[in-house]
């Protein structure tokens, strides 16, 4: 067993949770496991601060109203961002629950899951209502899975605080003074200190040392007393669940990556380090090492959740090797000649590079792959041309002072929202949308170019490290939030910065999220940052596993998919899942957006050949002359040698307009050839 990287900063303001020490038992790891110091920042403030000082400091997009305590980094791109940002708080989904703030308190409930041919819904369920007599609420602390909310009066005094957490079916309230909570439902006594009510088909329990009125509609608490509420599984019992309903005070994360697996451990802290209730998602259940799960199950839009009692939740994901190379060594001379011809045409046909961070990043990624092919094919002329173009573009983008005199191809630091933003925003990047999608392309391209030129590496590293820090700071930076957008419990990213949606946050392009961590891991290697490499490799493995579990290769045997008629889910939210995209109603887009950009690390998408064939057939109806036709051919090639040969024949004649702007014909052919 090796020591893995552990994050324990709860980023709280004076909460009991900050003083809790939790003993973790992590899964054993195989040889080659990478590790780091729990107290050391992955990208230290001292290493990025001087470059941040050189960048213009500017808030590019409008920042919404925020309910956040002073001193906390704005939690953009989180499952709970809708609680924090916007004129009014929106529901969030700490599965298995939904949760919402009211003017005077909060509501929560177990969502009712319904499935149609195109959508799986489990929206906000305000089944239980608690009135704390508050006037407003403020988020006073958050960590990798939990959120603490202070409820305040009009004069600003705190009446109490609520804790919710992903994977916890508990909502707890701790009184900051003697008070009476008004209960929107009548709770009846069900044993010493245990009460219950039934809403619809669900029984909700309440455990407290407080005093409940005879009619069950009010609960009196003394200063420091706590009440905790929970849904009882339909296949569980109130007494067993209540016995383990110990309020969560915070969650700590422990992770490692090495050998064939990456491991994740989330420790759920309680006041006395006792067992509590933990609900597990399907992707965790496949390889869980802790805890014991025998208390029943909850339905969720992501599949059946098992309810467990324990102090921590541990599971593993298969590692995905970070890669920027397609090995052409097995190709014969004729195929290499074909690629050399196509490469020269692609280099000559390179268009002017876009100025925004998304399409600009994709253009850099395309150049990087052309450079990789040129090197492998021994095409020194193409390598010189494309290498110079890539290097010049990266130098331009990474000039820390460029935004002082230009409005594009440069970055600023946003001191309000604490992050790096490219001018000439796209897809709401100034609202912190999609930063991992955009910056993943930059990190990939920079890694390829820097590996060729040590002088270039030195020049571009300061700003490239800022892009890495925007996505993957860890250890409590004063400049950035920890791991912006990556959700350790869910195992994947969230795309929307401020999440102004009643269905919670969302993620559409699971593959571009995977590409982000591939680029980050490559940059960590080329910049010799072992701690960043550990973190990036762990996120890469986790995101790829969740991408397959919930986007591209869903387990249709789970009852949640009973009426769903598609092989992929294109857009996942906290409270629903859709066979739809933000930009197109076409089937090719719904699968294609889960494939882009088919990097050298995209072998994780390989699945049963029948599943791939089913997905490709639904997306194309046999015709690849459409958007993402190139990526769909590359995906088809993962189905086996025969499928790869068929895909190659089609790819040779695919019209240029159906080759994505982040792709090229030479890379498309090379990718398929090596699988045929």
What digits encode the pLDDT tens for the residues 546-588? 999 999 999 999 999 999 999 999 999 999 999 999 999 999 9
In the prediction, which pLDDT does 11 show?
32
In the prediction, which pLDDT does 16 show?
29
Is 628 a member of any domain? no
In the prediction, which pLDDT does 31 show?
26
3-state secondary structure of 70: coil
C-alpha dist (Å) from residue 68 to 84, 179, 298, 453 = 6, 24, 31, 44
> How far apart are alpha carbons 149 and 216 in whole angstroms?
25
Q: Is the pLDDT of residue 19 over 90?
A: no
Is 629 a member of any domain? no
The proportion of the chain whose per-residue pLDDT surpasses 70, expressed as a percent, equals 94
Segment 81-139, tens digit of pLDDT: 999 999 999 999 999 999 999 999 999 999 999 999 999 999 999 999 999 999 999 99
The proportion of the chain whose per-residue pLDDT surpasses 90, expressed as a percent, equals 93
Does 211 share its domain with 256?
no
C-alpha dist (Å) from residue 578 to 38, 161, 495, 573 = 38, 34, 15, 8
Q: Is the pLDDT of residue 255 over 50?
A: yes
CATH of residue 147: 2.70.98.30
Q: CB neighbours (10 Å) of residue 274?
A: 11
Segment 323-335, tens digit of pLDDT: 999 999 999 999 9
Does 103 share its domain with 231?
yes
Backbone angles phi, psi at 596, to 5 degrees: -55, 130
Is 20 a member of any domain? yes
Is 543 a member of any domain? no
**pLDDT band at residue 40 using 50, 70 and 90 as cut-offs:** low
Does 175 share its domain with 214?
yes
Segment 349-374, tens digit of pLDDT: 999 999 999 999 999 999 999 999 99
Does 158 share its domain with 20?
no
Does 269 share its domain with 223?
no
**pLDDT band at residue 526 using 50, 70 and 90 as cut-offs:** very high
Is 304 a member of any domain? yes
Segment 398-407, tens digit of pLDDT: 999 999 999 9
- Looking at 181, 204, 235, which one is the last position of a domain? 235
> How far apart are alpha carbons 226 and 366 in whole angstroms?
56
Which of 582, 640, 651 is closest to 610 using CA atoms? 640
Average pLDDT over residues 182-200: 97
Instruction: Report the predicted TM-score, pTM, of the whole model to 2 decimal places.
Output: 0.94
Which of 69, 148, 136, 64 is closest to 101 using CA atoms? 136
Segment 236-248, tens digit of pLDDT: 999 999 999 999 9
What is the CA angle 530-532-537, rounded to 5? 95
Candidate from 217-221, 290-294, 544-548 with smallest mean pLDDT: 290-294
Task: Give me the domain span that covers residue 112.
Answer: 81-235
Domain count for the chain: 2
- Average pLDDT value over all residues in the chain: 93
Q: Measured in whole angstroms, how far is the alpha carbon of residue 62 from the centre of its chain?
A: 23
C-beta of residue 632 within 8 angstroms of C-beta of residue 616: yes
In the prediction, which pLDDT does 292 show?
80
Q: Is the pLDDT of residue 22 over 80?
A: no
Does 120 share its domain with 20?
no
Instruction: Report DSSP letters for 530-588, one per residue.
Output: HHHHHHHHHHHHHHHHHHIIIIIS--TTSGGGTT---S---EEESSEEES--SS---HH
Segment 271-291, tens digit of pLDDT: 999 999 999 999 999 999 877
Does 128 share its domain with 274?
no
Does 228 share its domain with 87?
yes
In the prediction, which pLDDT does 3 show?
29
Q: Is the pLDDT of residue 433 over 60?
A: yes
Q: CB neighbours (10 Å) of residue 45?
A: 16
């Amino acid at each position: 067993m090796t020591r893995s990287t552990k994050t324990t900063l709860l980023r709280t303001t004076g909460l009991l949770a900050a003083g809790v020490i939790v003993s973790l038992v992590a899964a054993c790891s195989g040889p080659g496991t990478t590790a780091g110091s729990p107290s050391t920042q992955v990208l230290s403030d001292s290493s990025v601060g001087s470059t941040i000082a050189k960048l213009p400091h500017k808030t590019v997009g409008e920042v919404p109203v925020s309910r956040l305590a002073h001193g906390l980094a704005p939690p953009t791109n989180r499952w709970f961002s809708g609680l924090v940002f916007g004129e009014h708080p929106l529901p969030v989904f700490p599965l298995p629950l939904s949760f919402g703030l009211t003017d005077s308190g909060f509501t929560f409930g177990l969502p009712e899951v319904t499935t149609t041919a195109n959508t799986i819904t489990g929206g906000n369920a305000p089944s239980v209502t608690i009135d704390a007599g508050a006037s407003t609420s403020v988020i006073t602390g958050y960590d990798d899975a939990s959120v603490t909310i202070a409820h305040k009066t009009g004069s600003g005094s705190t009446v109490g605080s609520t804790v919710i957490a992903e994977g916890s079916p508990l909502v707890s309230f701790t009184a900051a003074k003697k008070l009476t909570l008004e209960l929107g439902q009548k709770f009846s006594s069900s044993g010493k200190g245990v009460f219950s009510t039934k809403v619809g088909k669900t029984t909700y329990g309440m455990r407290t040392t407080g005093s409940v009125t005879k009619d069950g509609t009010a609960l009196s608490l003394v200063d420091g007393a706590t009440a905790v509420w929970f849904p009882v599984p339909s296949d569980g019992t109130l007494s067993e669940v209540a016995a383990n309903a110990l309020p969560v005070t915070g969650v700590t994360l422990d992770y490692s990556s090495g050998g064939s697996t990456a491991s994740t451990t989330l420790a759920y802290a309680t006041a006395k380090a006792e067992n509590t209730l933990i609900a597990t998602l399907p992707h965790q259940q496949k390889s869980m090492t802790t805890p014991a799960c025998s208390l029943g199950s909850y339905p969720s839009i992501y599949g059946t959740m098992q309810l467990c009692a324990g102090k921590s939740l541990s599971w593993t994901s298969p590692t995905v090797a970070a890669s920027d190379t397609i090995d052409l060594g097995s190709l014969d001379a004729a195929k290499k000649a074909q690629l050399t011809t196509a490469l020269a045409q692609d280099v000559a046909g390179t268009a002017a590079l876009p100025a925004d961070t998304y399409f600009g990043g994709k253009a850099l990624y395309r150049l990087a792959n052309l450079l990789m092919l040129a090197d492998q094919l021994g095409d020194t002329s193409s390598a010189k041309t494309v290498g110079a173009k890539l290097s010049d573009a990266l130098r331009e983008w990474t000039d820390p002072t460029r935004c002082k005199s230009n409005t594009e191809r440069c970055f600023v630091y946003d001191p309000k929202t604490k992050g790096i933003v490219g001018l000439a925003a796209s897809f709401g990047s100034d609202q912190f949308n999609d930063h991992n999608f955009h910056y993943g392309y930059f990190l990939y391209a920079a890694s390829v170019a820097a590996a060729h030129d040590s002088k270039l590496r030195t020049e571009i590293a300061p700003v490239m490290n800022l892009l890495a820090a925007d996505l993957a700071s860890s250890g409590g930076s004063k400049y950035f939030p920890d791991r912006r957008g990556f959700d350790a419990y869910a195992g994947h990213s969230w795309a929307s910065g401020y999440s102004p949606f009643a269905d919670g946050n969302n993620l559409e392009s699971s593959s571009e999220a995977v590409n982000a961590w591939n680029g980050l891991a490559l940059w960590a290697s080329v910049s010799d940052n072992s701690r960043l490499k550990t973190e990036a490799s762990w996120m890469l493995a986790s995101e790829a596993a969740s991408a397959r579990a919930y986007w591209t290769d869903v387990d249709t045997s789970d009852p949640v998919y009973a009426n769903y008629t598609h092989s992929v889910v294109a857009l996942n939210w906290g409270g629903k899942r859709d066979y739809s995209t933000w930009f197109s109603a076409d089937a090719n887009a719904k699968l294609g957006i889960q494939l882009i950009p088919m990097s050298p690390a995209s072998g994780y998408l390989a699945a049963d050949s029948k599943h791939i064939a089913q997905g490709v057939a639904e997306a194309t109806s046999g015709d690849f002359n459409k958007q993402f036709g190139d990526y769909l051919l590359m995906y088809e090639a993962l189905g086996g040698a025969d499928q790869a040969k068929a895909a190659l024949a089609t790819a040779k004649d695919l019209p240029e307009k159906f080759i994505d702007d982040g792709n090229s014909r030479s890379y498309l052919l090379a990718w398929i050839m090596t699988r045929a």
